[in-house]
């Protein structure tokens, strides 16, 4: 009886273990199935962005090749080695004379802009036979803004297309392109503006749609285009601006001399472990560390003080004009001080 009870207990135990094993096996299968689903999803999600990224990259490269062409003088810096410009790829590089280059550009500009171009004029040293090696080719595009009204969108499009045209046609000579609106040209012409008159006098039409430029040239030669009081006053009104820019250039020259001496002095003080001071304290420190030790003449400290005071008066607007001899003198003193500083620093290092 006891034996039978033991066997029944054992059977129940075995049955329980079997059920447990089956349950665990089922759970393992489900986990395995879940892992496979998760793994599949992860793989799929990883593949998708990769494919998408490849597509985007391809589009960017394609756009780059379409929108940008090799230039002779590039302002962009890239890590990639820039390919050499081939004359086979760019036939415009085979053109040698200034006139051939100008005509080639004019024909391509007219082809691009069509009747928007009223006239394309060759101007400058080429037409006066005063060009030298390195001279630019000056070209004027007269655009018809009377028939076609120019808004911001059209102006932006014109500038972009002109830029593309210049980039896609490299030449052996640099082009200097000026665009003039027909309405502006006409106003200046009726007033007898000197710039327009000289363009008509010396310019040569490369493209002249409907005979616009040549008749003006004939009218000027016959004396029918004359100057006006308005043009006279316009010229006179520009003079003060020219003088102001000239004087500003003079003041800028002193600014350069001032900072040349400040930087030189601060470098000298730093060479003996003195922290660079603000400009108003430089003269005193130069005297303490160099003049008193017989390493620098007092003359240079005096020069620095004088230039500091001059610069201060210019900044405050007390001085608006300077004699050319004064500017030349300060440039010489700044250069001399710089050389002395270099010599002293060399001795300190040695």
3-state secondary structure of 318: coil
Q: Is the fold of 91-227 the same as that of 231-349?
A: no
Segment 226-250, tens digit of pLDDT: 877 877 777 778 888 888 888 788 8
Helix (H) or strand (E) holding 155: helix 152-167
Mean per-residue pLDDT, 264-277: 89
- Is the distance from CB of 124 to CB of 212 less than 8 angstroms? no
Q: Give the pLDDT score at 36.
A: 47
Segment 148-182, tens digit of pLDDT: 988 999 999 999 999 999 888 888 888 899 999 99
pLDDT surpassing 60 at residue 194: yes
Segment 109-130, tens digit of pLDDT: 999 999 899 999 998 877 776 7
**Under CATH, which architecture does the 231-349 domain have?**
Up-down Bundle (1.20)
Scan for tokens 């800028």, then name that residue.
252
The domain limits of the chain are 91-227, 231-349
**pTM listed for this prediction:** 0.52
pLDDT surpassing 50 at residue 92: yes
- Is the distance from CB of 176 to CB of 137 less than 8 angstroms? yes
- Confidence class of residue 84 from pLDDT cuts 50, 70 and 90? low
- Is the distance from CB of 257 to CB of 330 less than 8 angstroms? yes
CATH for 91-227 is: 3.30.460.10
């Amino acid at each position: 009886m006891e034996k039978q009870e033991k066997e029944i207990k054992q059977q129940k135990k075995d049955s329980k273990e079997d059920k447990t094993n089956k349950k665990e096996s089922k759970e393992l299968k489900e986990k395995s199935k879940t892992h496979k689903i998760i793994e599949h999803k992860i793989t799929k999600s990883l593949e998708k962005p990769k494919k998408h990224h490849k597509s985007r990259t391809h589009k960017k490269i394609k756009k780059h090749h379409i929108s940008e062409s090799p230039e002779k003088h590039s302002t962009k810096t890239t890590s990639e080695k820039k390919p050499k410009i081939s004359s086979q790829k760019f036939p415009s590089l085979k053109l040698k004379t200034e006139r051939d280059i100008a005509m080639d550009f004019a024909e391509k500009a007219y082809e691009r802009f069509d009747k928007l171009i009223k006239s394309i004029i060759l101007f400058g040293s080429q037409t006066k036979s005063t060009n030298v090696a390195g001279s630019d080719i000056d070209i004027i595009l007269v655009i018809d803004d009377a028939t076609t009204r120019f808004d911001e969108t059209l102006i932006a499009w014109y500038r972009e297309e002109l830029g593309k045209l210049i980039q896609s046609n490299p030449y052996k000579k640099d082009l200097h392109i000026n665009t003039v609106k027909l309405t502006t040209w006409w106003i200046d012409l009726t007033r007898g503006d000197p710039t327009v008159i000289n363009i008509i006098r010396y310019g040569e039409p490369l493209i002249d749609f409907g005979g616009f430029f040549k008749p003006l040239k004939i009218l000027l030669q016959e004396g029918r285009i004359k100057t006006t009081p308005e043009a006279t006053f316009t010229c006179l009104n520009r003079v003060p601006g020219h003088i102001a820019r000239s004087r500003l250039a003079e003041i800028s020259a002193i600014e350069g001399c001032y900072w040349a001496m400040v930087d030189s002095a601060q470098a000298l003080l730093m060479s003996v472990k003195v922290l660079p001071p603000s400009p108003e304290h430089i003269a005193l420190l130069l005297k303490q560390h160099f003049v008193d030790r017989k390493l620098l003449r007092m003359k240079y400290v005096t020069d620095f003080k004088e230039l500091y005071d001059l610069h201060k008066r210019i900044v405050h607007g007390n001085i608006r004009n300077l004699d050319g001899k004064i500017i030349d003198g300060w440039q010489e003193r700044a250069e001399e001080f710089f050389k002395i500083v270099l010599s002293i620093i060399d001795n300190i290092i040695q």
